[in-house]
A and B are shown apart, each in its own frame.
Chain A
Amino acid sequence: LQQQAAIASKVFVQRDYTSGTVCKFQTKFPTELEARIEKQQFEETIQTLNNLYAEAEKLGGKSYLEGCLACLTAYTIFLCMETHYEKVLKKIAKYIQEQNEKVYAPLGLLLTDPIERGLRVVEITIFEDRSIGSR
């Protein structure tokens, strides 16, 4: 009987602080993924994530308006309204799910949403199927 065990290792894509404290991940291609996925594809995923986070943290007219309005209401507005950041986080979650379904799962990889790791890392789990047990 062949038993298939899923064995996983994890790769962590760390934050890139060269632009300050904004949420941005390093686009350097980890060596452990070389056999699994194309560099181009990986970089594209990370770059899209970085762009989405940049959109969440963007300082612009809209965010200032939200901030000023919140200040005038003694910030009680945060109790009822969803902030711009939270809306973008949902977009990000959807994007990651979509990427997992279309690109990463077929390659035996899994992306974990960085928000589940405190926005510290993008965790990529690598699955290897190993056949064990007697043939």
Chain B
Amino acid sequence: MKNCEYQQIDPKALATPSPAPTPSRPCLEKKPKRLKRKWEVFPGKNRFYCDGRIIVARQSGVLPLTLGLILVTSGLFFIFDCPFLVQHLTSCIPVIGGVLFVFVVISLLQTSFTDPGILPRATPEEAADIEKQIDNPINSSSSYRPPPRTKEVVINEQVVKLKYCFTCKIFRPPRTSHCSLCDNCVERFDHHCPWVGNCVGKRNYRFFYMFIVSLSFHTAFIFGCVTTHLALRSQGGNGLVFALQQSPASALELVVCFFSVWSILGLSGFHTYLVAANLTTNEDIKGSWSGKSGNEESGNPFSYNNIFKNCCSVLCGPMPPSLIDRRGFVPTEDEVRAIPAEMELPSIKTDINMVGRGPTSGHAPPPFLPPNP
């Protein structure tokens, strides 16, 4: 007689809490002894490194270029401009430059390698349950093509439409969007940024914002310092050409910084506006809240109508956990077989170990049986 067993939830495992994107492979596949981690069977188009600790999009995009530009330009600045400026001005310059550089690189890496807020796909039972709810009210005549599935919800006295995602088989929460590049639904989806090689969403927006703000300061700072450097060198009747000859690296830095500072500053300004209005780039571009159907009353239902509060909630709010349990183990096939509600129960199934709890993180849960009466 089997006893009722409860899986003790390991507190450590909750550090990266969990649901499982159920693997789409058939359950009958006999797995070898080594248990797979969930990142190995992740259905989206992401890539994982360090055994699931690091997540990036399928195409790393231009991330190496971004990193390269930052490292090279900053490197040249420290090597060629700083010594002169320390000598002629102040030694604070490399210190400030160093701090900004550290902030830029750390926030860039965090933006790129953090889970942006990916929503795991629905388990088969959930998907079946939702299908059932959708099909019921509609006449299921074969010639009738059902309209795209939407659900309406009233938030803050405004009607918000929730769309059904055919890939993830869920009704998307408000502000969630499906990224076709990564093939995931991402919460509070802002945009997919090729420069950082990842989506920007709920969980990494603050890193992204810090990245562009610190990069604006850093670029502007280098630009200012290089200009000062060249100006100082060309004093005393030497001329700019002479100064450039003496310090050719500065020319390169000047060019890079000149072209990037405008776009980065512009982007920072734009995102500052978005943060203050509690909007996402996606919503801003689509005009979701800005009177699209001539409705004067539509405004952003998620805004607190207070700039300070908006900023605080977007940038300093609590850090939500990652919903995909990358390092958890995929449960064995014993656990995956469960019947969705409404399915005919009686004669067919005779196996005892049919039902499992949902997979818990970090462990392969044992089969669960209810207590015998």
Residues of A that sit less than 8 Å from B by CB: 3-12, 15, 17-21, 32, 56-59, 63-64, 66-68, 70-71, 74-76, 78, 82-86, 89-90, 93-94, 97, 100-101, 105-106, 108, 110, 112-113, 115-121, 123, 125-130, 132
Contacts and interface: CB of A to CB of B under 8 A. Distances in A.
5 cross-chain pairs, A with B, having the tightest CB-CB distances, nearest first: A67-B316, A127-B370, A9-B341, A118-B120, A115-B17
Nearest to B123: A117
Interface string B19-58: 1100000000000000000000000000000000000000
Given A17-B173, A85-B319, A75 B15 contact: no
A89 B17 contact: yes
Interface in B96-129: 102-103, 106-107, 110, 119-120, 122-123, 125-126, 129
Interface of B: 4, 6, 9, 11, 14-15, 17-20, 102-103, 106-107, 110, 119-120, 122-123, 125-126, 129-130, 153-156, 160, 162, 170, 173-175, 187-188, 206-207, 210, 301-302, 309, 312-313, 315-321, 323-325, 338-343, 345-347, 349-352, 354-355, 357-361, 368-373
Chief secondary structure at chain B's binding surface = loop
A20 B338 contact: no
Contact of A89 (B14, B107, B125, B368): B14
A116 B359 contact: yes
Contacts of B206: 67, 71, 75
Contacts of B373: 129
A10 B338 contact: yes
Contact of A75 (B17, B210, B341): B210
A17 B107 CA distance: 31
B323 A115 contact: yes
6 contacts: A6-B354, A20-B155, A66-B319, A67-B315, A106-B371, A112-B358
A5 to B, nearest CB: 6
B368 to A, nearest CB: 7
B155 A18 contact: yes
A108 B179 CA distance: 40
A17 B155 contact: yes
Contact of A74 (B19, B107, B153): B107
A63 B210 contact: no
